[in-house]
Amino acid sequence: MKTRNILSLIVAVLLLTLAFTSMFVLDETQQAIVTQFGRPVGEPRTQPGLHFKIPIIQKVQFFDKRYLEWDGDSNQVPTKDKKFIFVDTYARWQIINPLQFFIRLRDERSGQSRLDDILDGETRNAIASHDLLDIVRSTNREPEVSDALMEDLDNLDDITVGRDKIEALVLKRANERTADLGVQILDFRFRRMNYVDEVRNRVYDRMISERNRIADQFRSEGQGEARKIQGNKERDLAKIQSEATRESEMIRGKADAQATSIYASAYNRNAQARELYSFLRSMETLDKSFDEKTSIILSTDSELYKYLKKAN
């Protein structure tokens, strides 16, 4: 009796174990295929929920249903116009046919490796087939720059393809090559582009030279404006001084005329006044003309002699 109970318990445990191993659960982010001795059997399981398989002899391979990341390596690539640049890219992809994906690639690691070959190769082909200007620009819109740089940008060539179209071209060609892999590349972008060190240093030197040229132009214009202001200042100063001199001479002339008028009026008033005027003028002449060391010879009919004789 006890042996029968033990056997029943063992059988129940085995049945429960088989029941549990025959079931698997898919959540919303997963999809799966069932394999038997390493080969897929049945259709892919893509709906979330409870699914069944034959226990022991069948296994389940799970795959991600979500969008997956692909980050490319930064590679040195020459453009059509022989400019060497580093190109860093990224993409997003998805497993759309898990059965085909399992047959061709087995797992996501192999899928990432295969995408490395496809996307890097198509990126190189696209970069090598277009000029640098097409790769870094998307439109021919007018750049927003200052007037100082406009003369250099007048010679900026128009693009014929553009960056967006090149990215779309890489995406299209890559999807053509992944059509039988059970995956779809959803998006492809250039993350970053840069010159190699040697070319980048030359570009920096050219930028520095250009900025120095613009700075020299500003300095030259500033010096010209300063000289213009200085010239205007000297002209205005000369004009002011000339007008001031003219006005002072006019005032002095009026004063002299008024003084002469006063002297004449005083001279004509009477004989004594005329005599006093003649005496004062003579004394002024003596004071301004002679000093202690001056010797003179006067005639007897000189006005100065007359006053000197009276003084003796």
- The closest alpha carbon to 175, from 73, 104, 90, 94, belongs to 94
Segments making up each domain of the chain, as ranges: 2-63, 68-195, 233-311
Q: Which of 253-257, 265-269, 274-278 has the highest mean pLDDT?
A: 253-257
∠ at Cα 209 (203, 214), nearest 5°?
A: 125
Lowest mean pLDDT among 249-253, 268-272, 276-280: 268-272
The CATH T-level fold of domain 68-195 is: Tetrahydropterin Synthase; Chain A (3.30.479)
What is the reported pLDDT for 208?
87
Long-range contacts of 281-287 (CB under 8 A, 24+ apart): 282/307, 283/307
Do 105 and 114 touch, CB atoms closer than 8 A? yes
pLDDT, tens only, 230-244: 988 888 888 888 888
Gap between the Cα atoms of 304 and 312, Å rounded: 13
Q: Where are the alpha helices (DSSP H) in 82-196?
A: 98-104, 108-128, 132-136, 147-153, 163-177
How far is the C-alpha of 19 from the C-alpha of 210, rounded, in Å? 78
Angle at 304 between CA 302 and CA 308, to 5 degrees: 120
Residues whose CB falls within 8 Å of the CB of residue 127, separated by 6 or more in sequence, listed in order: 77, 78, 79, 85, 87, 135
Does the pLDDT value for residue 20 go beyond 90?
no
Q: What is the pLDDT of residues 24-50, one digit of tens each?
A: 889 999 999 999 988 889 889 989 988
- pLDDT above 70 for 128: yes
